[in-house]
């Protein structure tokens, strides 16, 4: 490595993705791989506003309840992207429309946990353990899934079969099965050695008379500052607690590119988890601009990058995106929305039964609302998990009780995957 390149890598906190935690990841060389199902789960911490993401623009109570926040109808300036004549996709997610048009992207409206809590912390715990209302569950459903999901011969007992992208192992991944940690690109947002004034001053003196090296150092430092600023945003201490260490979505496109490379090149990696924060939009939520659009734009680019980067592996991959609960139907007095109930879940992948908004739409008229204020839930989030396990991962019915203890629904309730 040249000295110039080494300096840039140090200033940026290193662009290389390497495993941390209990395991090391051995990268396999690209080549012919036997088809096997893959699963990527993304949790949006803070409660994403599903009514703006997949907006029911034909429901008259939608615009009536949100005079300043309702998204404009398709065909209007800055309007929604029409999905099926009833629902429209937020324009910040435009990179996902090709997947919708290919039938590889679908949504489940009015979904979520039937537990009535409006606490981020409880709701996230319930979604990560898949045991709503039960606080005593210690392990996460993804960990239980890895125990119940038989490994293919090519995977065997590999420690890299399941990975979690982030600084710490989240509750959804905790349990008896060893899940590896990969650092997120968001690590660049944390202060490093070059952010210390004495060290920065020493570098300035060392390379001050070297035009090429001095320019490289200054460019790298500026880039680092810009990345940190974009990730810090208005991510204050209260929101940081809600996000439980999850970064803003700004770094997702880079993380998705790295993750897709890992999953494409190493057939042993069958499951990956990522968490993204910053979705608690109590104020300045906006429509095509504002806090929500700022979160959705990198989310859309990141998911599109994942689909493209996986290449042929995309055909065998399912991506599930969820958030702990939705937001109120009516806007509040600070240009935002408050903690709600029903939400939308997203599914993408080569075998996903996409091009469709799944689930029963309950409507937004007052008598249909949960507690008179929220979108009602007609699809338990565990129905989506069960359908994905049965139809994509081909797990037997006997595994359902292990992964989803206490769940009494049916894995056939939703047709989410194509044969």
* Choice between 168 and 282, residue whose per-residue pLDDT is larger: 282
pLDDT in tens, 174-209: 999 999 988 886 554 445 555 556 666 665 666 666
**168 pLDDT tier (thresholds 50, 70, 90):** confident
What's the rounded mean pLDDT across residues 72-76? 97
On the question of pLDDT at 246 being above 60, the answer is yes
The confidence score (pLDDT) of residue 241 equals: 75
Distance from C-alpha of 113 to C-alpha of 331, rounded to nearest angstrom = 22
In this structure, the chain runs to a length of 419
Cβ neighbours for 153, distance < 8 A, ≥ 6 positions apart: none
Nearest-Å Rg of the Cα atoms of the chain is 22
Nearest Cα neighbor of 102 from 351, 414, 306 is 351
Q: Which two tokens stand for residue 70?
A: 């309702």
Residue 312: count of CB within 10 angstroms of its CB: 11
Cβ neighbours for 291, distance < 8 A, ≥ 6 positions apart: 234, 278, 281, 283, 284, 285, 336
Question: Which region among 10-19, 46-55, 89-98, 101-110 has the lowest average model confidence (pLDDT)?
Answer: 10-19
Distance of CA 99 to the CA centre of its chain: 17
Distance from C-alpha of 380 to C-alpha of 42, rounded to nearest angstrom = 17
- Residue 182 to residues 21, 112, 131, 187, 372: CA-CA distances in angstroms? 8, 28, 27, 11, 43
Distance from C-alpha of 96 to C-alpha of 308, rounded to nearest angstrom = 11
């Amino acid at each position: 490595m040249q000295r110039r390149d080494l300096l840039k890598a140090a200033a940026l906190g290193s662009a290389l993705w390497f495993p941390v935690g209990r395991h090391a990841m051995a990268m396999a060389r690209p080549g012919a791989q036997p088809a096997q199902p893959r699963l990527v789960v993304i949790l949006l911490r803070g409660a994403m506003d599903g009514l703006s993401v997949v907006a029911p623009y034909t429901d008259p109570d939608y615009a009536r309840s949100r005079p300043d926040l309702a998204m404009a109808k398709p065909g209007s300036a800055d309007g929604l992207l029409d999905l099926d004549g009833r629902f429209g996709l937020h324009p910040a997610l435009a990179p996902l429309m090709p997947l919708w048009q290919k039938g590889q992207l679908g949504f489940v409206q009015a979904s979520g946990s039937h537990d009535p809590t409006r606490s981020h912390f409880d709701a996230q715990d319930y979604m990560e353990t898949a045991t709503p209302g039960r606080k005593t569950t210690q392990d996460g459903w993804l960990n239980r899934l890895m125990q119940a999901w038989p490994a293919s011969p090519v995977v065997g007992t590999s420690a890299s079969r399941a990975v979690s992208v982030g600084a710490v192992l989240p509750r959804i991944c905790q349990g008896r099965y060893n899940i590896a940690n990969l650092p997120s690109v968001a690590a660049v947002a944390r202060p490093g050695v070059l952010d210390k004034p004495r060290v920065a001053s020493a570098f300035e003196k060392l390379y001050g008379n070297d035009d090429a090296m001095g320019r490289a150092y200054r460019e790298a430092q500026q880039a680092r500052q810009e990345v940190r600023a974009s990730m810090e945003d208005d991510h204050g201490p209260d929101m940081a607690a809600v996000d439980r260490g999850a970064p803003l979505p700004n770094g997702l496109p880079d993380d998705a590119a790295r993750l897709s490379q890992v999953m494409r090149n190493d057939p042993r990696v069958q499951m990956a988890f990522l968490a993204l924060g910053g979705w608690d939009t109590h104020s300045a939520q906006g429509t095509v601009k504002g806090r929500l659009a700022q979160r959705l734009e990198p989310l859309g680019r990141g998911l599109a990058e994942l689909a493209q980067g996986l290449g042929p592996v995309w055909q065998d991959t399912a991506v599930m995106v969820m958030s702990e609960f939705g937001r109120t139907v009516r806007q509040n007095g600070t240009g935002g929305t408050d903690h709600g109930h029903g939400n939308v879940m997203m599914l993408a992948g080569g075998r996903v039964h996409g091009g469709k908004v799944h689930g029963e739409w309950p409507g937004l008229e007052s008598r249909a609302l949960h507690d008179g204020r929220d979108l009602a839930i007609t699809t338990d989030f565990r129905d989506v998990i069960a359908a994905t396990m049965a139809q994509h991962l081909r797990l037997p019915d006997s595994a359902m009780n292990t992964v989803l203890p206490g769940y009494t629904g049916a894995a056939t309730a939703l047709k989410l995957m194509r044969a």
